[in-house]
Structure 1
Amino acid sequence: MFLVRNKTSDGSFSSKNDEVYHANFSTLPCKKGVRKNVYNGVLRGTGDKKGDKVLVKAFKSKETTEELCTKELERYKQAKSLGRTFNKLVPSPSNKVEFNVLLAVPVEKVAFTNCVRRSKNKVTAKEWVIIEENLGMDFKDFIQKDGTSVLIDPTSLDAFVHYSYHKSGGKLVIVGLRGVESETDNGYKLTCPVIHSYAQTFGDTDRGEEGIRKAFEHHRCTNMCYAMDRPQVKLSDNLKANET
């Protein structure tokens, strides 16, 4: 018995000319999200990441085009850029935030078993997919899409939400923070951020001004937040009670 997998075209996670990868990935999704199907994969190629486990993602409601993938990458680039400047301000490495590296490439070959499957969501040849590092079994939600924290006490992630608004000049806020917390005091490794912006330029999860307002209705400030700008929002009665 042998396993035939789908295969992506080559691409690179870095600017190094000798780092070229493709991913072999399963024909059946390991997870079905609201917007995307997720497949287990393995990197093949010439760089240091060869053999690493990855996740391959494809949109469910529509064919995953290069344009859709570009919008996803723009969110990650924005989050990574703000994460780098935020990390210069935090008091210790355990407070740092880091975002996953993404690669967007078209599918080159589709396994025969995938071709014969009767599914409207199956991956097809020439469709674009997103490849990212598999963060493992300890993956969890920290900050939800509406800015609600699932953690008991405020952390540097709450501060980063506020910082993203402040540093962008009030143009956006980054929420939907999910990933893993390092066991070696290296902070948080995150993926799938959601950005709400006044211009609504960050894909179909961007809820614009309403998303920003909701995020700050649910936001919990830390000691880092007090010198930061924030929008004027009307707190709900429950949130007022929590602040007193």
Structure 2
Amino acid sequence: MNILFIGDIVGKLGRKALEINVPILINKYKIDFIIANGENITNGKGISLTHYGFLKAHQIDAITLGNHYNHLEEIYSFINNDDIIRPLNIKNEKEGAGSRVFEINGTKIRVTNLLGENTAKFEISDSYNSVLDILTNDDSDIHIIDFHAEYTGEKKAFAYSLKNSVSAVIGTHTHVQTRDYQKLSTGPLYISDVGMCGLYDSVLGVEKDSVVERIIFKNDNARFKQLNDGKTIFSAVVLRFEDITFKPLEIIPIYNVN
């Protein structure tokens, strides 16, 4: 069983990177199931119904989100669809689900989405305790967690705390792919951050000059910009599992510039 996990898709160029790379990777790695983080797909913040449709048209099976999950109000017109996973540990969010199970050729794949500390402006519950109830009653064959968080240490400590009760903990949010991809001694496949899909010559997918003006030169009137043209980056990982026991085998980083 080979699963492709695609990092935060940022704007139009993130979508372009996905279009270029996904068909090639499906063929090369014999991909059975695809997860993508879609929280930045619409102009860098949130996901529109149109771009939800774009992901479905490009063979994405499960769509995880993050701190910008409800930046666009229209998310509530499709957040209850069975392939959308918003963060599980958001307090006072009654719509949508933070963990869903998908069945592929008889194999049950659970995908869970969590937010880390200091990642969102709204109130969240503790990530570890939020996932305990799911783990207690889970009968899935493979369980992959998208941990959308700022701190690499928090992500790795969380992964270790779960021991071998999940198959993979994949970090998202920082838009920078880390080199610590590994199979942890406790069992799960792990990476602190899978990275992003978007503009290559940028700051986290945002046009670089607008970021410099706002962050470095402290110009409060400067606004972050999304470009429609330029070289793209595609960041993802391939997660390999044994076909019968579903034991985690290998995590393969993908970092393509097109």
Q: Give the TM-score taking structure 2 as reference length.
A: 0.24
Q: Whose radius of gyration is greater, 1 or 2? A: 1
